[in-house]
Each structure stands twice: as structure tokens, then as C-alpha cells.
Amino acid sequence: MSKELFKGSILFGPVPAVLVTTVNEEGKANVFTVGWTGVACTHPPMVTIAVRKERLSYENIVVAGEFVINLTTRDMLKMTDFCGCRSGRKVDKIKHFGLELESGVDVSVPSLKKSPVALECKVRSITELGSHDLFVAEIVRNKIEKSLIDENGKFDLSKANLLAYCHGEYFALNRRPLATFGHSVAKKSTRQAQHRKRMEQMKKKGRR
Ligand SMILES: Cc1cc2nc3c(=O)[nH]c(=O)nc-3n(C[C@H](O)[C@H](O)[C@H](O)COP(=O)(O)O)c2cc1C
């Protein structure tokens, strides 16, 4: 491949476009879109979100020390874009979309009922970087839509049509997975067994 050179900037993707729910001091919920999010640690489970100080959500997160990351799906495309273009200072985004909320289990912040995966997070540190501050937070509870958990207790997120964001465009992850973790180093017999299992599962679900 032959490369053009650009100055350092965020040409990085795809990333998930998530909806982050927060509450203010009075417990009123708000929701905003975050693309600058990532996994930071497995044990303890930690994630990051990068947020500009001027966001209403920034204030809410600093005051509450908690937030919820709601993964988004194809069906949530319009609200994902809207919640990233309008501030809760001007529009009650939850009312605007008639969003149903589910109470937090280990945090005071509700999650979005429509989202298949909600991660309840407690802020562990805040680092000023420039335009954005980086919140490092521990996931204290995962809430997963039951229909996405198969008979072996494994998540099948390929059914969820999750949304991704890449350089200003949204994409739905609506294809079957190409392969599973470790397939490149798995023994041939293991690979064949995995392949057989996948085919059986697909037959059961009636997918090609
Ligand atoms: C796809 C997308 C990704 C975004 N990612 C971020 C982000 O990572 N951090 C951030 O501070 N704002 C991000 N924004 C902008 C905020 O979501 C937007 O300013 C929002 O209106 C803030 O709402 P609030 O004032 O109610 O908190 C993003 C917007 C879109 C559409």
C-alpha cells in the first residue's frame, strides 16, 4: 500500500457510537452520543469516554461520578445522531424520543430500555487532555438483553445490529462474524469443531 501523509488528527475508526445516560443533582436524566470511547482494562473492567467540558453531560458526570454506556443499534440510528447534535440544555432528548428508562442497579443513573447492552460505570479518574477530558470508569454492572444470550450463556451480539461510527458515517454491524477469537492459532481439529458448531447454530436459527 502507498500512504499519503497527514498531520496528527483523529483518523481512527470504526468506533462504537454509544448513548451515554447521566443524571443531574436533582436526578433528572439526560442522554448524549459518544464516539470517543474505549476499553481500558479487563480486571477490573474499565472503560473510557472523552467528553468536552461544555457538554451538559460533562457537568452531570462530574457531579454524580457515574454514567451508563448504552450500546446502540440500527433501530436507534436517528436518536443516536440527534442526541449528538442537540444539547439537553435546549431539548429534553428523553421526552423528545419518548425514551423508556430502566432504573440503575448499582448506580443512580438509568439506562435506555431500547439498548440491548447497558454498562453501569463509576468514574475512577478524570484527566484533562485539551479539547476533551478523559473519564476512566469502572463497569460495576452489565445489563444484557436476554434474547441475545444463547443456550450456552454466550452473547450473540451479531443479532443486535450494533451501530459503528467511522469518519462521520454510521454503519450497522449486521453481518455474521468472520471468525472467532483465536481462530488463527487454533488446532485444525478445534477449527473444524468450531466450524461444525457454527453451522449447527446457524441451521437452528435458519440463517445462511
Ligand atoms: C457520532 C457522534 C459522536 C460524538 N462523540 C462525542 C464524544 O466522544 N465526546 C463529546 O464530548 N461529544 C461527542 N459528540 C457530541 C455530543 O454528543 C453533543 O455535543 C451533544 O449535543 C451533547 O449533549 P449534552 O449537552 O446534552 O450533554 C458526538 C456526537 C456525535 C453525533
Q: What is the per-residue pLDDT across 5-53, written as a single tens digit (0 to 9) for each?
A: 888 778 888 999 999 999 999 999 999 999 999 999 999 999 999 999 9
Please check whether residues 98 and 152 belong to one and the same domain: yes
10 located within any domain: no
| Per-residue pLDDT tens digits for 179-206 | 888 888 888 887 787 778 777 777 776 6
For residue 70, give the CATH number of its domain.
2.30.110.10
Q: What is the count of structural domains for the chain? A: 2
Please check whether residues 62 and 146 belong to one and the same domain: yes
Q: Cα of 141 to ligand 1 centre, how many Å?
A: 24
Could you tell which of 12, 23, 32 is best to mutate to test the pocket of ligand 1, judged by most ligand atoms within 8 Å of the CB?
32
Please check whether residues 26 and 66 belong to one and the same domain: yes
Q: Whose CA is nearest to atom 24 of ligand 1?
A: 87
8 located within any domain: no
99 located within any domain: yes
Could you tell which of 12, 15, 23, 33 is best to mutate to test the pocket of ligand 1, judged by most ligand atoms within 8 Å of the CB?
33
Q: Domain range holding 201?
A: 179-205
pLDDT confidence bin for 208, thresholds 50/70/90: very low
Please check whether residues 123 and 200 belong to one and the same domain: no
Could you tell which of 55, 79, 81, 92 is best to mutate to test the pocket of ligand 1, judged by most ligand atoms within 8 Å of the CB?
55
6 located within any domain: no
Q: Whose CA is nearest to atom 18 of ligand 1?
A: 84
CA–CA distance, 23 with 165 (Å, rounded to integer):
25
Please check whether residues 49 and 147 belong to one and the same domain: yes
| Per-residue pLDDT tens digits for 158-184 | 889 999 999 999 999 988 888 888 888
Please check whether residues 196 and 136 belong to one and the same domain: no
Please check whether residues 37 and 114 belong to one and the same domain: yes
Write out the chain in H/E/C secondary structure: CCCCCCCCCCCCCCEECEEEEEECCCCCEEEEEECCEEEEECCCCEEEEEEECCCHHHHHHHHHCEEEEECCEHHHHHHHHHCCCCCCCCCCHHHHCCCCEECCCCCCCCEECCCCEEEEEEEEEEEECCCEEEEEEEEEEEEECHHHECCCCCECHHHHCEEEEECCEEEEECCCCCCCCCCCCCCHHHHHHHHHHHHHHHHHHCCC
Cα angle for residues 136, 82, 66 (degrees, 5° grid): 25
Please check whether residues 102 and 194 belong to one and the same domain: no
CA–CA distance, 206 with 29 (Å, rounded to integer):
40
| Per-residue pLDDT tens digits for 60-119 | 999 999 999 999 999 999 999 999 999 999 999 999 999 999 999 999 999 999 999 999
45 located within any domain: yes
Q: What is the CB < 6 Å shell around ligand 1? A: 17, 30, 32-36, 50-52, 55-57, 81, 84-89, 132, 165
66-70, strands of its sheet edge to edge:
29-34, 18-23, 66-70, 117-128, 132-144, 46-52, 37-41
Please check whether residues 47 and 127 belong to one and the same domain: yes
195 located within any domain: yes
Please check whether residues 30 and 111 belong to one and the same domain: yes
Please check whether residues 53 and 95 belong to one and the same domain: yes
Please check whether residues 165 and 91 belong to one and the same domain: yes
Q: Whose CA is nearest to atom 7 of ligand 1?
A: 34
Q: Cα of 72 to ligand 1 centre, how many Å?
A: 14
